[in-house]
A = this chain, B = another copy of it.
Amino acid sequence: MNGGDGPPRSGDQIIHDGDGPVHEAERITRPEALQVLSKRQLAILPIGATEQHGPHLPLGTDTFMATEVARRVAARTGALLFPALSVGYSWVWRDIPGTLGIGEATLKQVIKDIAHNLHRQGLRMLVLLNGHGANESALKYAVRELADEVATKILYFSYFNHFGEAEKEVIQSPKWHGMIHACEEETSLLLAVKPELCHMERAVKEYPEVPPVYGVSALPLGSLSESGVYGDATLATAEKGEKLIQAAVDRITDIIETTWKEV
């Protein structure tokens, strides 16, 4: 884990995130990768985004979160952990400087290409660990098409859909239209993972008014909130975030292990 005190990343090969070490594909060699996969034909690909998260959270928030949850799940499952895809479908923020977005069809194709490549290598199960809500559609449709094309079993998790009861227990402020973006919830999450990148002194509360065409048109969502926050970021704490993360990691690991037996 890389939660509060910021343990160094170099020499991650001996990190024990729970039951076992994390095997970061990027940082290990060919024979090591082969060994990891020989034990278990399971890999995890974190998928994030680079886009605005208000005045207090970094643009890489979604990538950091996807990576952290993926790391913990990899530690539990022994999966090979691939480096995160740090570019996602960020259409609603496309006009805000610093957003690094690709099209929905392009993201879908990236996922499909990767899955086909891993299928060739004989991978038994691929887990897509998504940290960005707007990526979900591309993942879902890619996975459906892949079901007819590759033998590799593919699971996709938007980690924030797997908090279960923990969400109600720790989060005090309401969601803005069901969205989690730079709010109490997401700020808490990043506080648990990258506290050094959170600027809580700039955290604000904003519940932008919603025009009637929200959700039924190509509304530029980015212009609704002045601050870029959608909720109350001031209520966030690292403890809340840590509880949510642990809940998600538990549930996601459970589903992976249950599914593994049936594949």
Q: Which residues of A contact B (CB under 8 A)?
A: 6-12, 24-31, 33-34, 37, 45, 50, 52-60, 63-64, 80, 82-87, 90-91, 94-106, 109-110, 113-114, 117-118, 120-123, 137, 140-141, 143-144, 146-147, 153-157, 161, 194, 196-197, 199, 202, 212-213, 215-218, 228, 254-255, 258-259
Contact = CB atoms under 8 A, between A and B. Distances in A.
B255 A213 contact: yes
Nearest to A195: B10
B37 A50 contact: no
Nearest to A86: B83
A157 to B, nearest CB: 6
Contact of A59 (B7, B11, B25, B218): B25
B121 A95 contact: yes
B27 A54 contact: no
Question: How many copies of this protein are present in the complex?
Answer: 6
Contacts of A101: 113-114, 117
Given A29-B53, A102-B109, 5 more contacts: A26-B50, A29-B58, A30-B98, A33-B52, A161-B215
Given A104-B141, A213-B255, A255-B213, A96 B121 contact: yes
Contacts of A95: 120-121
Q: Which of A11, A54, A64, A102 counts the most chain B CB atoms within 10 A? A: A102
Please list the 6 inter-chain residue pairs (A to B) with the smallest Cβ-Cβ separation, ordered nearest first: A10-B10, A26-B60, A33-B98, A147-B218, A102-B113, A83-B86
B83 A60 contact: yes
A254 B6 CA distance: 36
Nearest to A202: B29
Contacts of A6: 7, 10, 196
Contacts of A197: 10, 27
A31 B55 contact: yes
16 contacts: A6-B196, A10-B11, A10-B194, A26-B59, A29-B52, A29-B58, A33-B52, A33-B98, A34-B97, A34-B98, A37-B97, A97-B122, A100-B117, A103-B109, A103-B113, A155-B216
